Amino acid sequence: MSTDAHEHQELRSAVAALAARCGPDADELWAEAGKLGYLGVNLPAEYGGGGAGITELAVVLEELATAGRPLLLLVVSPAICGTVIARFGTGVQKRAWLPGLAAGTARMAFGITEPDAGSNAHRLATTARRAADGSGDWLLTGRKVFISGVDTADATLVVGRTEEARTGRLRPALFVVPRDAPGFTYRRIPMEVASPEKQFELVLDEVRLPADALVGEEDAGLQQLFAGLNPERIMTAAFATGMGRYAIGRAVAYARTRQVWDVPIGAHQAVAHPLAQSHIEIELARLMLYKAAGLYDAGDDAGAGEAANMAKYAAAEAAVRAVDRAVHTLGGNGLSTEYGLASLITAARVTRVAPVSREMILNYVSHRTLGLPKSY
């Protein structure tokens, strides 16, 4: 076993132990994980982080999900927002945000999806323009939907569009918007998904921001955006594989002991084989997950983009099947609150839709990997 593999195994064991000893309160788990350095394991050490990478942060989320205790804001606050600020933020922005994000004492949401554009960064209607008074301030206007955790976040990293100085075309740009900024309002969207993290619609009505609210360059465009979106896909894959492992673990434990005739139901191939198939599918998805994380941490953004999309696709498909098979193994018990599987039916299905749909990933692979022509 390599040193890295040994360290990762130690990290897995430590995170699993944390999940086991913490109560059901997600805020308590978040705070304890922050104190132990798990929330910021991917952030620079000079700003209070662990100095590791997305690989290690994916390990943390996967193990929490495997224990049935996922913290979905790990996908957003340290993985997306922390990564973007660490890579492209100014020294002032890094000092202002990274220590808190690493410790879990500060949280940041991420706002990209819009009612009429989804996650298509080329069609986003949220725009940012310079104030006419010469102050250098920005005025941000637009709407966002399905934004996680805004109520508990200190700020939201909002994707808007600015006019490129050279061509006049609109290009994506990233802005830190404090939760209490005048003109920034949010409304909870009722969801069927059982999760501590709620979903919100945001309205930005001429929100005035100082010049230094811009993260990175205003003309940098998609490069900065995808610096956050690749970790988002990797972390979603970590959540999905962990959820699948949790579901199969519960089903296997049940099938070993549940006896209706002369032997436990797990002795019957009609029960055993679907669970074995899901175990194989999850393990294959995990291989692509950590390939993607490794490429990202090595600085190969292009390779990581392809692998991250594939990992997210494979993990979501595996998770949906794993949860379905686990519920089927338990029969009526699989739908009861006692066994904790029914709520995963919706949660697993969400991973096929968010943060990017399975169809858009298939488009990405068919166009970018296979070189097939676009239909749009």
Banded pLDDT at 223 (limits 50, 70, 90): confident
Which of 106, 122, 157 terminates a domain? The answer is 106
One domain, residues 231 and 364: yes
Write out pLDDT tens, residues 156-193.
999 998 876 556 677 889 999 999 999 999 999 998 87
Q: How high is the pLDDT of residue 2? A: 42
Contact 20, 29 (CB under 8 A): no
Q: In the chain, where do the E strands start and end?
A: 108-111, 127-130, 138-148, 155-163, 170-178, 184-189, 199-209, 214-215
Examine the pLDDT at 220 and tell me if it is beyond 90: no
Whether the CB-CB separation of 248 and 282 falls below 8 Å is answered with: yes
Q: Which two structure tokens, joined as six digits, stand for 38?
A: 């798990």
**CATH number of the domain bearing residue 36:** 1.10.540.10
Q: Is residue 27 part of a domain?
A: yes
Domain harbouring 132, CATH code: 2.40.110.10
DSSP states along 57-106: HHHHHHHHHHTT---THHIIIIIIIIHHHHHH--HHHHHHHHHHHHHTSS
Query: Range with the lowest mean pLDDT among 17-26, 70-79, 115-124, 161-170?
Result: 161-170
pLDDT of residue 225: 81
Indicate whether 260 pLDDT > 50.
yes
On whether both 99 and 38 belong to a single domain, the answer is yes
pLDDT score recorded for residue 97: 98
DSSP 8-state class, residue 47 = G
Domain that holds residue 263: 223-369
Pair 235, 149 in one domain: no
For residue 169, is it within any domain? yes
The per-residue pLDDT for 4 is 80
| pLDDT given at position 238 | 98
Residue 187 has a pLDDT of 97
Strand 108-111 to strand 155-163: parallel, antiparallel, or no bridges (unpaired)? parallel
**Cα–Cα distance for residue pair 111/320, rounded to 1 Å:** 26
**Residue 119: predicted pLDDT:** 61
Check residues 295 and 216 and name the one with the higher pLDDT. 295
**The pLDDT value given to residue 118:** 67
117 and 20, same structural domain? Answer: no
Indicate if 53 and 65 belong to the same structural domain.
yes
For 99-120, write each residue's pLDDT tens digit. 999 999 999 999 999 998 866 7
Mean pLDDT across the stretch 272-290?
98
The structural domain count of the chain equals 3
Please tell me whether residues 113 and 205 are part of one structural domain: yes
Answer whether 336's CB lies under 8 Å from 344's CB.
Answer: no
User: Is position 116 within any domain?
Assistant: yes
Of 76, 106, 136, which residue is a domain's last?
Answer: 106
The pLDDT, as a whole number, for residue 76 is 97
Q: How do residues 316-356 score in pLDDT, each as one tens digit?
A: 999 999 999 999 999 999 999 999 999 999 999 999 999 99
Residue 1 is predicted with a pLDDT of: 34
Q: Give yes or no: residues 270 and 334 share one domain.
A: yes
Residue 145, in any domain of the structure: yes
Using a CB cutoff of 8 Å and minimum separation of 24, what contacts does 310-314 make? 310/361, 310/365, 311/233, 311/234, 311/237, 311/285, 312/233, 312/234, 312/236, 312/237, 312/240, 312/351, 312/356, 312/361, 313/358, 313/361, 313/362, 314/237, 314/281, 314/284, 314/285, 314/288
Residue 21 amino acid letter: R
**Is pLDDT above 50 for 283?**
yes
pLDDT digits (tens, 9 = 90+) for 298-308: 999 999 999 99
Q: What is the pLDDT of residue 121?
A: 67
Q: Are residues 363 and 232 in the same domain?
A: yes
Tell me if 151 is assigned to some domain.
yes
* 249 and 269 fall within a common domain: yes
Q: For residue 376, is it within any domain?
A: no
Model pLDDT, residue 221: 60
Asked if residue 374 belongs to a domain, the reply is no
Residue type, 44: P
The candidate with the shortest Cα–Cα distance to 75, out of 32, 113, 42, is 42
**Whole-prediction pTM:** 0.95
pLDDT at 23 over 90: no
For residue 57, pLDDT over 70 is answered with yes
Q: What pLDDT does residue 227 have?
A: 83
Say which CATH number the domain at 343 has: 1.20.140.10
Residue after which a domain boundary falls, among 66, 88, 106: 106
Residues 278 and 355 in one domain: yes
Whether 360 and 237 map to the same domain: the answer is yes
Average pLDDT, the chain: 93
Which pLDDT score is estimated for 164? 66
Of residues 2 and 262, which shows the higher confidence score?
262
Same domain? 317 vs 208: no
